[in-house]
A = this chain, B = another copy of it.
Amino acid sequence: MTRFKTLHILNKPPEHARYRLCLSAIGPQDGLLLTENGVLAITQPLAINKERCFALAPDLEARGLLSHVSSDQIASFDDMVDLTALAENVISW
């Protein structure tokens, strides 16, 4: 399981001010976990390496976006627990 310096959890859609704030705070050793409305980000060009960007499966599924993401990037709640437990720090945006 990946261990990030800071794990950023983003639950806001791309139109939201805090979405932009979050993206501007992601450092080179950080990871991004998209949840809730945040999973809409996967329809947008994101300046973050795919290996550091995950989206919560149930939220993708609800929004009809499961097929838009490669399986490497899809996280379950179990994955979310691991990601948050392993990261040095977590910021919920």
Q: Which A residues contact B (CB, under 8 angstroms)? A: 13, 15-17
Give chain B nearest CB distance to A41 CB in angstroms.
Answer: 14
Which residues of the other chain, B, contact A13 by a CB distance below 8 angstroms?
Answer: 17
A16: B residues at CB distance < 8 A: 17
Interface of A is mostly: loop
**Closest 3 A-B residue pairs measured CB to CB?**
A15-B17, A16-B17, A13-B17
Contacts of A15 in B (CB 8 A): 17
Q: How far is the CB of A4 from chain B (nearest CB, A)?
A: 27
What residue of chain B has the Cβ atom nearest to residue A19's Cβ?
B17
A77 to chain B, nearest CB (A): 28
